[in-house]
Amino acid sequence: MTTAFIAHASCRLHNMGPHHPECPERLDAVSDRLIASGLEKHVAHYDAPAVTQGQLARVHDQDYIAMIEAASPESGICYLDPDTAMSPHSLDAARHAAGAVVLGTDLVLNGECRAAFCAVRPPGHHAERRRAMGFCLFNNVAVGVAHALAHGLERAAVLDFDVHHGNGTEQIFAADPRVVMVGTFEYPLYPYSGVDPAGPNMHNVPLRAGSGGEAFRTAMSEICLPALEAHRPEILFISAGFDAHRDDPLANLQLTEADYAWVTRELVRIAERHAGGRIVSTLEGGYELSALGRSAVEHIRALAEL
Which of 14, 126, 231, 245 is the catalytic position?
A: 126
- Contacting residues for 36 by C-beta, under 8 A, at least 6 apart: none
- 245 as an active site residue: the answer is no
- Contacting residues for 264 by C-beta, under 8 A, at least 6 apart: 238, 298, 299, 302, 303
Sheet containing 279-283, strands listed edge to edge, beginning at the edge strand earlier in sequence: 43-47, 3-7, 115-118, 279-283, 235-240, 156-160, 179-186, 202-207
Specify the pairing of strand 85-86 against strand 78-79: antiparallel
Contact in structure between 245 and 291 (CB atoms under 8 Å): yes
Contact in structure between 206 and 170 (CB atoms under 8 Å): no
Q: Supply angle C-alpha 24, 27, 31, rounded to 5.
A: 145
- Strands, DSSP E only, in the chain? 3-7, 43-47, 78-79, 85-86, 115-118, 156-160, 179-186, 202-207, 235-240, 279-283
Indicate which residues carry an active-site annotation. Answer: 126
